[in-house]
Amino acid sequence: MNKSQFKRNLRDNPYLLAGMIIIGLVLLMIIVGLFWTPYDTTAMNASEKLQGISLRHIMGTDNMGRDVFSRVMYGSRITLLIAIGTVFIGAGLGTIIGAVTGYFGGMLDEVVMRVVDALFAFPSILLALVIVSVFGTGWIQLLISLGIAFMPSFARIVRGEVLRCKNMDYVENARLQGVSNLRMIFVHILPNIKGVLASSILIGFNNAVLAEAGLSYLGVGSQPPYASLGKMLSDAQQYMFTTPSYVLCPGIVIVLMVLGFAFLGEGISRWK
């Protein structure tokens, strides 16, 4: 695809454009936050507690006088990292399990998919809570547990798609030429389901951002004094009515992230 085609495609696809702009802004904020934040994210200032939006603190300050904007910059980095890690683990494991069971079928399929169904039966946040309570709290544990909790939905999607593809003539054609089973799954069949996979990965991103926020809100994510968006929300809830900016700002960033990924997913699934 050349450049002008790409541009035309973007113009016909407002979802993709909107998604790219929103995610671009969020990424810009995160990348800048890697090198520079207006204030130290953990520095407290007792004389500037719970201030509203001002020029000095564009998102106000929290109950300990820390700059909310700086903390949002840092927190969204952690949130995004957890979301990426979650989807990476979930989609990776899910794709392998779904593709292999779907392709081979038989007993293996029955047994593995029933286990996956059992995982599926738990709400993913509950499952992640269980795993976190076994492995301890912290953002790496959170990432692994969310990844495992997200795996079943990917396994399901990939299995269904592989089932659809595996009886197509081109698979039989390839088999006649002597293509091995693993090569068939990963080289011949998977490229045909990458569209479905890509949009479900982006939906997975959304759910991961929300799940991270939810779990941090419950207090199992990143530990104080370090921020993540969900953690900030849970800290801010007591001050919701006195200093609305404190709870609104991280909330809006979560909404933007989710919206951006949703638009990207929609845009990709409409990609011609």
Residue closer to other proteins (CB basis): 160 or 244: 160
> d(Cα 77, Cα 86) in Å, to the nearest integer?
14
Find the radius of gyration of the CA atoms of the chain.
22
- Which residues of the chain form contacts with other proteins (CB under 8 A)? 168-170, 172-180, 183, 188, 191-192, 194
Residue closer to other proteins (CB basis): 3 or 169: 169
CB of 194 to other proteins, least distance (A): 8
Q: What torsion, rounded to 10 degrees, do the Cα atoms 233, 77, 60, 42 define?
A: 90
Q: What torsion, rounded to 10 degrees, do the Cα atoms 87, 237, 47, 61 define?
A: 40
β-strand partners of 67: 61
CB of 70 to other proteins, least distance (A): 46
CB of 191 to other proteins, least distance (A): 4
Are 124 and 146 in contact, with CB atoms under 8 Å apart? yes
CB of 187 to other proteins, least distance (A): 9
Tell me, letter by letter, the H, E, C secondary structure of 70-137.
Answer: HHHHHHHHHHHHHHHHHHHHHHHHHHHHHHHHHHHCHHHHHHHHHHHHHHHHCCHHHHHHHHHHHHCC
Q: What angle do CA 80, 134, 251 make, to 5 degrees?
A: 30
Residue closer to other proteins (CB basis): 181 or 242: 181
CB of 186 to other proteins, least distance (A): 12
Residue closer to other proteins (CB basis): 6 or 170: 170
CB of 192 to other proteins, least distance (A): 5
> d(Cα 233, Cα 174) in Å, to the nearest integer?
53
Tell how far CA 4 is from the center of its chain: 31
CB of 36 to other proteins, least distance (A): 43
Residue closer to other proteins (CB basis): 180 or 242: 180
Q: What is the DSSP string of 198-264?
A: HHHHHHHHHHHHHHHHHHHHTT-SSPTTS--HHHHHHHHGGGTTT-HHHHHHHHHHHHHHHHHHHHH
Residue closer to other proteins (CB basis): 11 or 183: 183
Residue closer to other proteins (CB basis): 40 or 172: 172
CB of 7 to other proteins, least distance (A): 21
> d(Cα 82, Cα 198) in Å, to the nearest integer?
18
Residue closer to other proteins (CB basis): 14 or 195: 195
